[in-house]
Each structure stands twice: as C-alpha cells, then as structure tokens.
C-alpha cells in the first residue's frame, strides 16, 4: 500500500493494517494460528503467494516474528509485542461492528468448516477432565457439514471424516445461528431455550460442555 503522506495516527494505522487480509491474519494469530498452513487453512480465498507477501510485510513492520528451526526453515510465526497489543484494536472493532454493522450471516458467509476451525482453536475442553472426549457437530445450512471435535492427550483436534470412536456429545444446529452464538450476538441460553441448538449426551457431560461454551470468549474479548 502506498503511503497517504499524512502525519496522522489513523493514516499510519491504515498504512500498516489496510492491506486486504492483513487484519484477518492478525485475528487468526490471536486465536492461536502460528504455522503457515494453519493460517492458510483459516483464510479461504487467499493464495499462498499473497499470504507469504502479507506475512513478510507484517514481519518488516515489526508486528510478527518469524521463528526459524535448526535447519534454517520457518517453524512458525509469533505475534511480536506490537501485534499482541492489537487485541485492543480487534476488541474495539468487534464491539463497534456488532453494535452498528453486523447482521445475520448471509448464505455466502456460512462456512461450517471455517466456523468449526475457529471453534476448535478457541475452545478449552480441559475442564471435562483427562479422558478422551468426542463431540459430533451436525450443522445445517447452505453447505451442510458434519464434523467431530476430539479432545485426547490434552490436545483438541478437528475431523471432517468420522473418527469411528465413541461419541460423548451430539450437537445439532444451523450454521448461521452458531456463527451468531460464537460471536456473542445471540446468547447460548436463548438458542437452547428456543431449541435452535440441540445438545444430546449424558447430563454431566452436557452440562460441563455447555458451561465451557457459554463462558468461551475470543482472545479479543467482546464486551457484553
């Protein structure tokens, strides 16, 4: 991006963050994406070459750091302190958009695979204990999708092929509605009361899982 030629903080911010995809890369790094392939997976529509260019610019601008392994290859990308401080910007933008701009997602915006990827990055299932936990999500919408969230050996993973193991919890919902619950536009309790989201499992597991989802926040907190 060319400079605006103005000695103004807003103009400077636009020069650093105004390129397409840049803020979304920062967003995904705040939700735990660190490796190139993880970042690429969370940004449908971006080419690998454009992602490489944006990461190089963010590194030059001092917002991220490239970590090199022992063979001289890029191992991952970490947020540098200036990039970490952008959580304040993301919070303010999220709150403003939720108040004045955001509406229900359009069919083109309903990507159940991307939604589940975000969910898996953010959710903390450790309160459910050390045993293996598997939740099956059956999402309806323009692109129906079934996926499985697996917590095992203290790691949470996402599967789009049936892992063929016992399921502890079944979640059925509309993709668009789950997007709005995830972004805190619709309270989880309201969606459950209206039976817009159905959760089935043994009572203890269901209660524990719903408490986790209800208290779950994005790394850039949304003020209620």
| 18 within some domain | yes
Q: Are residues 167 and 116 in the same domain?
A: yes
Cβ atoms of residues 102 and 183 within 8 Å: yes
Q: Are residues 67 and 120 in the same domain?
A: no
| CATH code (residue 135) | 3.30.1050.10
Tell me, what's the pLDDT at 141? 94
Domain end marker among 85, 118, 151: 85
Cβ atoms of residues 175 and 110 within 8 Å: yes
CA distance to 33, 56, 148, 200, per residue, from 41 (Å): 10, 18, 17, 30
Tell me, what's the pLDDT at 224? 46
pLDDT range class, residue 1, cuts 50, 70, 90: low
**DSSP secondary structure string, 25-55?**
HHHHHHTT--SHHHHHHTSTT--HHHHHHHH
Q: Give the chain's domain count.
A: 2
Domain end marker among 85, 118, 133: 85
What is the distance between the alpha carbons of residues 112 and 100, in angstroms, rounded to a whole number?
25
Closest CA to 86 of 60, 58, 122: 58
| CATH code (residue 52) | 1.10.10.10
Tokens standing for residue 94: 């999220």
Q: Are residues 76 and 176 in the same domain?
A: no
Q: Are residues 210 and 120 in the same domain?
A: yes
Domain carrying residue 173: 107-215
Q: Are residues 152 and 205 in the same domain?
A: yes
Q: Are residues 111 and 71 in the same domain?
A: no
pLDDT at 154 over 90: no
Tokens standing for residue 77: 């990308």
């Amino acid at each position: 991006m060319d400079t605006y030629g103005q000695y103004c903080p807003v103009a400077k911010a636009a020069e650093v963050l105004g390129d397409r995809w840049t803020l979304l890369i920062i967003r995904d790094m705040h939700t735990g994406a660190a490796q190139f392939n993880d970042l690429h997976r969370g940004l449908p529509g971006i080419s690998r070459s454009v992602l490489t260019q944006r990461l190089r610019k963010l590194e030059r601008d001092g917002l991220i750091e490239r970590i090199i392994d022992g063979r001289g290859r890029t191992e991952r990308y970490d947020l540098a302190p200036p990039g970490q401080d952008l959580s304040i910007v993301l919070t303010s933008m999220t709150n403003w958009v939720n108040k004045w701009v955001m509406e229900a997602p359009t069919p083109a915006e309903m990507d159940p695979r991307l939604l589940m990827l975000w969910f898996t990055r953010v959710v903390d299932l450790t309160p459910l204990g050390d045993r293996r936990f598997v939740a099956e999500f059956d999402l309806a919408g323009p692109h129906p999708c079934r996926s499985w969230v697996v917590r095992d050996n203290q790691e949470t993973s996402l599967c789009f092929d049936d892992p063929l193991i016992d399921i502890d919890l079944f979640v059925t919902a509309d993709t668009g509605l789950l997007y709005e619950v995830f972004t805190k536009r619709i309270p989880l309790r309201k969606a459950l009361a209206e039976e817009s989201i159905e959760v089935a499992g043994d009572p203890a597991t269901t209660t524990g899982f719903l408490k986790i989802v209800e208290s779950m926040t994005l790394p850039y907190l949304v003020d209620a």
